[in-house]
Homo-oligomer: A and B are copies of this chain.
């Protein structure tokens, strides 16, 4: 049975259940950032997914990219580039990060992972981000 690693509950908030993945908004106002966690028990690497699920995850990554762009528009945070990462060095449960980037952001041009401390959203910004992401993720 699939269960979300508690680490995701601490760092992100639920957005929507997609066909394969739980989509979550990273609670870090420094970047518009969605995390996708495929609901597949014990998966750690892409090779642990079936070919069909791999293709589904790829499509959900593209969908999350569109949602990240929508969050950026809502928060007046223009996304210039998308970054996608599947690392799992700290939290091994398979997950994909989809992060909006722009020149001069808090880690530009380096990667975002492990940089500084998360800046939680204010309640109003969190609500705006969720409202912007949801129509793209779960139309």
Contacts and interface: CB of A to CB of B under 8 A. Distances in A.
Contacts of A18: none
A78 to B, nearest CB: 15
A109 interface: yes
Q: How many subunits of this chain does the assembly comprise?
A: 2
Interface string A39-55: 00000111100010011
Interface residues of A, number: 32
Interface in A51-86: 51, 54-55, 57-59, 61-62, 65-66, 81-86
A-side interface mostly: mixed
Contact of A65 (B45, B85, B88, B109): B45
Given A81-B88, A85-B111, A87-B83, A59 B65 contact: no
A85 B83 contact: yes
